[in-house]
């Protein structure tokens, strides 16, 4: 069993001038989500600028992009020391432009300072080309994020972990087919980018264009939270603050390298009136009952390679998020249900949840029991459906020994601490590196995104074509 540690974290608050870089340390309250750090100086997020240089954008808007970024990027430590396992905290920057054609203007190795970025952006001019190729631009970004995605070379070497990446798409026009034939390919590319810990941020420079607006709404939609996220308009007065916040949200992530069905937690933040990521990772998945079956809910989560505990559901927002994760992972149309989570009775027969060090804290005021539940003799809980459509999941009490239930598979929802600009808690590869013997294990690890893209090359050919 993994030894679980109590972790104290720091977070930063926004002031009237932007994001405050003076840390205000608090002890993590297990009854509330962990906020992501707002510390740009210690960020290790890569930034890919994907810029529409078609005639639709115009030179004035290109200058606005350069001016806006000149206010943000100096807060980040631009550099080439990319190995986060060695403690380096650098942000690499790349630039891609597109009209009907896509060009890599600067790869990560071409930019070593904010001045380098400024020179590149100041040199951009709008073309006479009215057509755009958003799909091709994002596919090119994928080739930078994961160079091995575009080759069958078995000797292609990539990092054993993904560096989080903020892909900022500045768009003034979308092709009509981007809401039709091209959309599936664009969404496939975004799945592979997400599997490599990349986050899409968009800026709409033509909000009156319904096709562009529709495309950006769709490709920034978070299916678990049920909202579009990090999708801004160029006329927004708070755009500079929004950019910095969104980039640091991209540095708040869950490392995806081990074929885990994982998502960073997203909830509505009433203080900022928007949905936000939190530094907690959620995993939904199975264990077979015929191979060392777990005899407690804690042992279910011991299966994971990262220190984990059964998940807490403290609000209707969280229940909705878990429900979407489970139902999205459709097995025979029913998803990963029924699924154990962290609610259980303690020795005093009180319903409680687990903290990360396996201490217990009382359940919140929120409950979602099915009619007739909880049963008096049950001591644990599952999320399960009460309708044949599996559209709404509720809580049912159950015995705490999963192996004693009549399940072919034991499903569970687990949570573990995420990564942000102040921590590598979610980085499994980083932990292995620190323990030694890293290289031998990494060479045997096949990322799910790499496998999928090699099996799906035909679907991506159309993305390279002009719209």
E-strand ranges in 242-392 read 262-269, 274-288, 309-310, 339-345, 351-354, 360-362, 380-385
pTM of the model: 0.83
How far apart CA 376 and CA 132 sit, in angstroms, is: 62
Q: What is the pLDDT along the chain (467 residues), one digit of tens a residue?
A: 333 333 322 322 333 334 433 333 334 456 678 899 999 999 999 999 999 999 999 999 999 999 999 999 999 999 988 777 777 889 999 999 999 999 999 999 999 999 999 999 999 999 999 999 999 999 999 999 987 766 666 666 666 567 899 999 999 999 999 998 899 999 999 988 888 889 999 999 999 999 999 999 999 999 888 999 999 999 999 999 999 999 999 999 987 544 457 889 999 998 889 999 999 998 887 766 556 667 777 887 877 777 889 999 999 999 999 888 888 766 545 566 788 999 999 999 999 999 888 889 999 899 999 999 999 999 999 998 887 667 788 999 999 988 777 776 778 889 988 899 988 878 776 665 544 332 322 222 233 333 333 333 333 333 333 33
Q: Where are the domains of the chain?
A: 46-255+445-464, 274-417
Q: Among all chains, which residue has been given the structure tokens 């529409």? A: 52
Give CATH for domain 46-255+445-464. 3.40.50.410
Topology of the domain covering 274-417 = Mannose-Binding Protein A; Chain A (3.10.100)
Cα–Cα distances (Å) from 281 to 149, 254, 303, 380, in that order, read 25, 6, 15, 22
């Amino acid at each position: 069993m993994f030894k679980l540690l109590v972790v104290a974290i720091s977070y930063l608050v926004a002031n009237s001038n932007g994001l405050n870089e003076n840390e205000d340390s608090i002890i993590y309250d297990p009854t509330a989500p962990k906020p992501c750090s707002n510390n740009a100086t210690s960020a290790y997020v890569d930034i890919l600028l994907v810029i529409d240089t078609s005639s639709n954008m115009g030179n004035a808007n290109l200058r606005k992009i350069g001016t806006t970024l000149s206010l943000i990027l100096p807060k980040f430590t631009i550099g080439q020391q990319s190995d986060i396992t060695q403690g380096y905290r650098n942000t690499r920057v790349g630039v891609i432009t597109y009209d009907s054609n896509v060009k890599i203007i600067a790869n990560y190795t071409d930019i070593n300072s904010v001045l380098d970025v400024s020179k590149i952006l100041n040199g951009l001019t709008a073309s006479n080309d009215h057509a755009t190729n958003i799909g091709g631009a994002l596919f090119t970004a994928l080739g930078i994020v994961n160079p091995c995605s575009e080759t069958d070379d078995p000797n292609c070497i990539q990092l054993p972990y993904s560096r989080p990446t903020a892909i900022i798409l500045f768009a003034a026009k979308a092709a009509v087919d981007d809401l039709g034939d091209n959309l599936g390919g664009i969404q496939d590319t975004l799945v592979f980018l997400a599997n490599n810990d990349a986050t899409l941020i968009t800026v709409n420079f033509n909000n009156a264009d319904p096709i562009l607006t529709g495309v950006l709404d769709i490709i920034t939609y978070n299916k678990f939270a049920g909202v579009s996220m990090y999708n801004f308009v160029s006329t927004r007065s708070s755009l500079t603050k929004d950019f910095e916040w969104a980039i640091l949200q991209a540095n708040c992530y869950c490392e995806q390298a081990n074929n885990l069905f994982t998502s960073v937690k997203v909830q509505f933040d009433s203080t900022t009136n928007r949905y936000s990521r939190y530094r907690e990772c959620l995993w939904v998945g199975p264990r077979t009952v015929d191979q060392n079956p777990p005899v407690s809910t804690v042992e279910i989560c011991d299966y994971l390679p990262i220190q984990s505990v059964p998940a807490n559901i403290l609000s209707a927002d969280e229940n909705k998020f878990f429900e979407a994760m489970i139902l999205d992972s459709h097995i025979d149309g029913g998803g990963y249900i029924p699924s154990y989570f962290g609610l259980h009775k303690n020795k005093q027969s009180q319903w409680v949840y687990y903290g990360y060090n396996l201490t217990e804290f009382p359940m919140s005021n929120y409950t979602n029991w099915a009619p007739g539940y909880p049963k008096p003799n049950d001591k644990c809980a599952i999320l399960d459906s009460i309708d044949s459509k599996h559209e709404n999941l509720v809580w049912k009490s159950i015995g705490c020994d999963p192996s004693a239930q009549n399940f072919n598979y034991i499903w569970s929802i687990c949570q573990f601490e995420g990564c942000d600009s102040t921590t590598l808690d979610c980085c499994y590869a980083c932990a292995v590196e620190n323990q030694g013997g890293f290289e031998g294990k990494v060479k045997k690890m096949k990322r799910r995104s790499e496998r999928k893209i090699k099996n799906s090359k035909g679907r991506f050919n159309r993305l390279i074509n002009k719209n």
